[in-house]
Amino acid sequence: MQPNWIILAALLAPVPVAAQETPANLPPAIVGTAQGDVSVTIYNGDVALVQDVRQLDLNRGTVRQDFPDVSAQIRPETVSLAVPDTRIVEQNFDFDLLSPSSLMEKAEGETITLLRTNPATGAETRERARVLAVNGGVVLQIGDRIEVLRDDGLPVRAIFDKVPPSLRARPTLSVTLDSSRAGTRPATLSYLSRGLGWKADYVALLDRKRGTIDVQGWVTLTNTTGTTFANARTLLVAGEVGSNDDDGMYRSQRPRARMQAGTESANREQLGDFYLYPLPERTTIADKQTKQVSFLDVKGTPATSGYRFVNGWLNTAANPQSAQTIVRFSNAAQGGLGDALPAGTIRVYLRDARGQPQFTGEAAIDHTPQGSKIALATGDAFDVKVRPVVESRTRIGSSRWQTKMRYTLTNATAAPVTVELVQAGLDWSDTRIVEQSRPGERIDAGQTIWQMPVPANGSAVVTATFDTRY
């Protein structure tokens, strides 16, 4: 529970706003902003570039100019300001924001007025009090006595004579300029900020009977900068830019899709090695807001569903294990989604017997070039199981072994299925396959894959003998 002086503090002094022209095309609800013509470029990884062109009316000589409504998470060392016929002398970022608690803290050593209300009669009494300390509570000197401003539920207000100049109602950049002439001119303010981010989210509706998938892509914008960016031109950059400011960044632990990287160039603007996703119209990115904008809507893309099971080296199971359910499709120009896909989460839905879409699983994708083949693992299958067993392990020399594996695959569905059976971990021990009941594909040093058909309501078996160093 917050103290009464925090809840009820009276803030009496106005805060000056930088003189400038209000952009004529701002909606009425945001005319009060001190921002000008704003452009925001948002990158992956909690970094954004803000560019703000404001009209300043400057006197000649040394002048101090305030820029309210900058991001509260501005990186001051990245600020760039260009004003014709001026020279920058000094710049400061005032991030100590006006609040009841900061106002009381700045009042240490000052005299304030306490307004108390008698709850029984409604009568008000005023006392002058000197703030001695604000350390986990407020210690006051009132006349000859020392009093602690308690949180006892009694109505009390702290009235301050003024707002300290170091406190700002809004995040403010203060700049001292040396102007060679008087007059109005544009000032271009640029800086990097934390707290503005975006990610891609995808909704995929799979039709197993038709072998197609419908995919909608949404850009999700988030703003935790402490500042609203009004009527901004917004550009999204897909790709991981290098930064020395990403310590402690959260990394998603959601299972990631497998991808065979494509080699097609997307019909989309690029910035160096990054793809650009501009929002088609200006938008207001409000503080503490999440906003979604559509950027992809493709229907009827060919897709297949199947199963996959990965077994680690020497793994043996007492009970059958579920295979993963896999959805496969492409983002190629022909027969695919036809666009590069920013990293994000794809959520897959299937229609039930009543035709209602139901959620069946999700997986994360990395930045995916056009022409890629994508395999999403959406969950564990109920009716398709695999039981791997180490049947024997025989030493055949001082440093070589032969290991015989048996994999039993079962299918309790009413339709035949194909399971992609993967034996992983082969690169650890200089492995050769000396015998197998069905031809497999050694896709790399560490994995062999068998594409195993399993009949409806039936089973299948694969055996393989591995010659290894250990």
SS3 248: coil
Tokens of 329: 């499709």
Number of separate helices (H) and strands (E) present in the chain: 2, 30
pLDDT at residue 251, as a whole number: 44
Same domain, 74 and 129: yes
Same domain, 258 and 309: yes
pLDDT at residue 243, as a whole number: 59
Name 354's Cβ contacts closer than 8 Å, sequence gap at least 6.
none
pLDDT at residue 1, as a whole number: 39
Domain end among 178, 194, 210: 194
Q: CA-CA distance, 187 to 195, in Å (whole number)?
A: 24
Asked if 403 and 425 touch (Cβ cutoff 8 Å), the reply is no
- Neighbouring CB atoms inside 10 A of 418's CB total 16
Place of tokens 């050694």: 442
Asked if 449 and 326 touch (Cβ cutoff 8 Å), the reply is no
Of 272, 285, 93, the closest CA to residue 172 belongs to 93
Residue 262, amino acid: G
Q: What angle do CA 448, 454, 460 make, to 5 degrees?
A: 75
Same domain, 131 and 229: no
Name 53's Cβ contacts closer than 8 Å, sequence gap at least 6.
36, 37, 38, 186, 187, 188, 189
- Neighbouring CB atoms inside 10 A of 415's CB total 9
pLDDT at residue 90, as a whole number: 85
pLDDT at residue 252, as a whole number: 45
Q: CA-CA distance, 345 to 333, in Å (whole number)?
A: 21
Within a domain: 46: yes
- Neighbouring CB atoms inside 10 A of 252's CB total 11
Same domain, 301 and 349: yes
Query: For residue 52, what is the enclosing H or E element?
Result: strand 47-58
Same domain, 328 and 426: yes
Within a domain: 430: yes
Of 14, 15, 56, the closest CA to residue 35 belongs to 56
- CA 333 remoteness from chain centre: 28
Q: CA-CA distance, 166 to 362, in Å (whole number)?
A: 49
Domain end among 194, 209, 231: 194
Same domain, 87 and 120: yes
Asked if 326 and 375 touch (Cβ cutoff 8 Å), the reply is yes
Within a domain: 92: yes
Same domain, 274 and 332: yes
Within a domain: 455: yes
Where the chain has pLDDT below 50, the residues are 1-30, 246-252
Asked if 399 and 440 touch (Cβ cutoff 8 Å), the reply is no
Within a domain: 399: yes
Residue 360, amino acid: T
- CA 85 remoteness from chain centre: 40
Same domain, 31 and 5: yes
- Helix, strand, coil fractions of the chain, as percent rounded to 5: 5, 55, 40
Same domain, 98 and 160: yes
Same domain, 142 and 227: no
Domain tally, the chain:
2
Same domain, 184 and 233: no
Q: CA-CA distance, 133 to 114, in Å (whole number)?
A: 16
Within a domain: 247: no
Q: CA-CA distance, 33 to 18, in Å (whole number)?
A: 10
Tokens of 262: 């494509």
pLDDT at residue 93, as a whole number: 65
Same domain, 187 and 204: no
Within a domain: 232: yes
Within a domain: 286: yes
CA distances from 429 to 68, 399, 407, 470 (A): 64, 10, 20, 6
Of 299, 325, 295, 450, the closest CA to residue 388 belongs to 450
Q: Which domain holds residue 175?
A: 1-194
